[in-house]
Amino acid sequence: MVKGCQWTDGEELRITKGWIARSNRSDVGTSLKSAQFFEGIRIDMLAERTNYLETINDPRYWEARSAADVRMRLLDHIAPDCTRLSACLASITRSPHTGMTTKDLTDMAIEAFNKRDDYKDGIPGSCGVFRFLSSWELLREYPRFSDTFLIPSSGSALSPPAEIVSLEMEHEDSSMPVAACAGTGSTSAAPAGVGSRRGGS
C-alpha cells in the first residue's frame, strides 16, 4: 500500500458522513474503540471516491487510508476541532448581535478559532486554522455527535478574551464584550488537505 499524504476535503467529509450513518446502526456496533466500526467507515468512504475524479486514481489517497488512519482523523482532528468551533459559536451567541445572520456568527466563531493562542505558524500539531466547515455543518445538527463528543467548557485551547472582544468590535458597533471561547484537549497533528475550504494548514 502506498503511504498516504495529506487528507483531502472529500475524504474528511466522507469520514464524517460514514460516522453519522454507522453511529445510527445498532447492527454494526458503534464503539469508538472498535476496529471493525472504523473499517466500516473506511469502506463507506471508499465507496464514495468516484465522486472525486481529481483523486480517485491517485494511490496516495482513499485506498492508502487504513482503518486506523480513519479513526485517528476522526477522533484526533475532525471531532475535536468541530466541538471547539461549537464552543466558540456558543460563547459568541451568548451576547446579542443585532442584524447579524447565522453565517455572520459562524464566520466570527471561525475567526475566533483561528486566533487560538496555541497556534504556531508552520508547526504541525498546533493546528490553528479551522478546516472542517463541511463536516461541522453536518455534525452540529446531529444530536448523537454532541452526546458523544462533549463541547469544551474550559481550558486554554481557544482564544483569550481580548481576541474575542476584538472580533466583536470588528463586526458590529457594540461595547459589550463577548466571553472567551473555551476548550479542552489537544490535537496531535495539524490537519492538512487539498481542495477548497475556509482555512488550511
Which residue would you say has higher pLDDT here, 194 or 64? 64
pLDDT grade, residue 199 (50/70/90)? very low
Using one digit for the tens of pLDDT, what is the confidence trace for 162-193?
A: 333 344 434 444 333 333 343 333 333 333 33
Under the banding of pLDDT at 50, 70 and 90, the label for residue 10 is very high
**CA neighbor of 172 nearest in space, from 113, 105, 127, 116:** 105
Q: Between 196 and 146, where is the model more confident?
A: 146
Tell which wins on pLDDT, 196 or 84: 84
What sign for the dihedral angle of Cα 138, 144, 146, 149? Answer: negative
Instruction: Please write the tens of the pLDDT for every residue from 55-81.
Output: 888 888 899 899 999 999 999 999 999
Could you read off the pLDDT of 90-134 as tens digits, one per residue?
888 888 888 889 898 999 888 888 876 554 555 444 445 788 999
**What pLDDT is recorded for position 97?**
81
Q: How far is CA 49 from the centre of its chain?
A: 20
Q: What is the pTM of this model?
A: 0.68
pLDDT, mean over the chain: 73
Q: What's the pLDDT at 171? A: 43
How far is Cα 124 from Cα 15, in angstroms, rounded to an integer?
A: 22
- Those residues whose C-beta lies under 8 Å from the C-beta of residue 100, and which sit 6 or more positions away, are 171, 172
What number is the average pLDDT over the span 12-37?
A: 84
Angle at 47 between CA 187 and CA 43, to 5 degrees: 55
